[in-house]
Chains A and B, each alone.
Chain A
C-alpha cells in the first residue's frame, strides 16, 4: 500500500452524490505515484468522469479528501481552484475546442490564463504544435481538421503549460482504432517525459499488455484490477 505522502494524487473515502439522489462515487480511495500511468475503466455511468471532475475540482466532493501535490483541495476556496486546475492537463472525448478560434488561439488559452506575454505564448504554442506534428494547422479553425487532428490540438492545449498530471477522459472514444492508438502512444510518450497520467477508457485493448495499473469502477465503487 502506498502512503499519501509520496503520491501526486491521493484520494480518501471519497463520496459524490448528485442531486436529487444519485450516488456517483462511494468511498473511493486511490493513490497515484509521480510518473505513474493509470487506467481507469468501467461501464458507462460507473463514475469515471465524476472521479476525474472531482480531481480537477470541477465538482466538489460530498465527503472525503483529495490531495493534489500534497494540497488538500476539498478545503480550498473557489478563488484557489484555478491554480489547482493549472497542475492538470485535461483531455476530453469531445475535444472541447472553441470552434470560432484558430488552433493557435485554442492552444494559447492555457497560457493566457497564466498571464504570459504574447511572445512567450507564441514560442511555447508553436513548439508544442510542432512536437505534436500539427504546426502546419496553426491558423486553421478546428472544423477544418480531422478528428485525430482535433484531438491533437486538444492535447496540445492540455500540455502546453507543462502540467504535472494529465487527465484523459475517454479521449479516444470518438476516434477510429488507428487514431486511438496514435493518441494513446502520444500520451504514453508524455508519460515517459515525466507526466503522471490518469486515462479513463472503455477500451480494454489498451491495457491488455498489463504494463500499467488498472482501476475498475463499478456503480461508483473502485477496485484495483490484477490483470484481466
Chain B
C-alpha cells in the first residue's frame, strides 16, 4: 500500500475539516487530561499511604507477666521478620521514665508505684521500600498470635482513612475514565460520520474502482492515530506543570515537607498514550465499518 497517498488524503481532510478535527483533538486532550489528573492523585495517594505506614512503624506491647529471660528471644524473632528494619526494646523502667517526663510537675502521682505495672514494649521501624499497608497489617496480625504479645499498635486509623480515600479516588478515576471514554468515543464517531458524509461521493467512487475497505479507511485511521497521539501527549504535557506546582506547595509546608510527589510513572504514560490511540483508531474503524458499505 502506498503510504504517501494515504498521508496526502489524510492531510487533505485535515485542511478541509480543520475545525472539526481540532475540536475532536481537543476533546481527546481534555478527556486524557482529566483522567491523568485523577490518576496522578491516585498514584501519589497510594505512595502516601505507604509512606505513612512505614514512617510510623509499630509498637508491640508484651504481656506484663512475660518472663524477662524470654525478651532477647522475642527481640531476635522480631528482627527476623521480613520488612522490619530496626527493633528497639523499651523496658517498663524506660516507660516509667517517659511517663514521668510526660507528667512533669504532676509526677508525684507515680510515687511509691513500681514500674512493673507497665508492659515491656518494642518499637519497630519498617523498611521504607517494599512495605505496604497490607504487609503491615499482616505483620501485626502475625505478632498478635505470639503468646508473649498483648497488643500491637500502629497508626491504623490514619492509614485506614488514607487507604479508604485512595480507594475512593481509584473509583473516581475509573468512573471518569469510563465517562470520558464514552464522550470521547461519541465525539470521534461523530467527526467520522461528518467526514464520511462530506466525502460520500469520493468513497463511492473509490468502491467502484475496486478499493478495499482498508484502502478507504486508511486515511481516516491515520487521522485517528494522529488525534489520539497528539491529544494524549499534550494532555500529559499539561499535567506536568500541575505536578511541579503541587510539589512546590508541599515543599513549602513544614509538616508535609518529607513527602515527595511522583509524576505519572513512565509505563502509565505509555499506557495512556497507547490507550488513547487505540480508542481513537478503534472507534474510527468501527464507525467507518458502519457508515461505509462494502
Contact = CB atoms under 8 A, between A and B. Distances in A.
Given A117-B2, A118-B2, A118-B4, A109 B213 contact: no
Interface of A: 56, 58, 78-79, 81-86, 90, 96-98, 109-110, 112-118, 157, 161
Contacts of B256: none
B210 A86 contact: yes
A119 to B, nearest CB: 11
B138 interface: no
B201 A113 contact: no
Nearest to A53: B208
Interface in B204-221: 204-213, 215
A99 to B, nearest CB: 8
B208 A58 contact: yes
B205 A113 contact: no
Contact of B294 (A56, A79, A83, A113): A79
A79 B213 contact: yes
Contact of A98 (B2, B205, B215): B205
Contacts of A113: 206, 209-212, 215
A88 to B, nearest CB: 8
Most buried by B among A85, A109, A161: A109
Interface of B: 1-2, 4-5, 201-202, 204-213, 215, 294
Nearest to B215: A113
A170 B52 CA distance: 82
Given A83-B210, A85-B210, A109-B209, A115 B2 contact: yes
A157 B205 CA distance: 11
Contact of B209 (A85, A117, A118): A85
Nearest to A78: B294
B208 A85 contact: yes
A81 B212 CA distance: 8
A58 B207 CA distance: 8
Contact of B205 (A96, A115, A117): A96
Contacts of B208: 56, 58, 85, 90, 96
Contacts of A58: 207-208
Contacts of A110: 209-210
Contacts of B204: 96
B212 A79 contact: yes
Nearest to A154: B205
Contacts of B211: 82, 109, 113
A223 B215 CA distance: 39
A85 B211 CA distance: 9
B210 A112 contact: no
Nearest to B294: A78
A19 to B, nearest CB: 14
A117 B208 CA distance: 20
Given A96-B205, A109-B205, A114 B210 contact: yes
Given A96-B208, A109-B206, A113-B210, 4 more contacts: A83-B210, A109-B205, A109-B211, A113-B211
Contacts of B212: 79, 82, 113
Given A112-B5, A115-B1, A118-B2, A81 B206 contact: no
Nearest to B8: A105
Contacts of A79: 212-213, 294
Contacts of B206: 109, 113
Contacts of B209: 85-86, 90, 109-110, 113, 157, 161
15 contacts: A56-B208, A78-B294, A79-B294, A81-B294, A82-B213, A83-B210, A85-B210, A86-B210, A96-B201, A96-B204, A109-B205, A113-B210, A113-B211, A113-B212, A117-B2
The winner among A84, A112, A118 for most chain B CB atoms within 10 A is A112
A28 to B, nearest CB: 22
A86 B207 CA distance: 10
A84 B208 CA distance: 10
A110 B209 CA distance: 5
Contacts of A85: 207-210
Nearest to B293: A78
A69 to B, nearest CB: 14
Given A78-B294, A85-B208, A85-B210, A112 B2 contact: yes
A112 B208 CA distance: 13
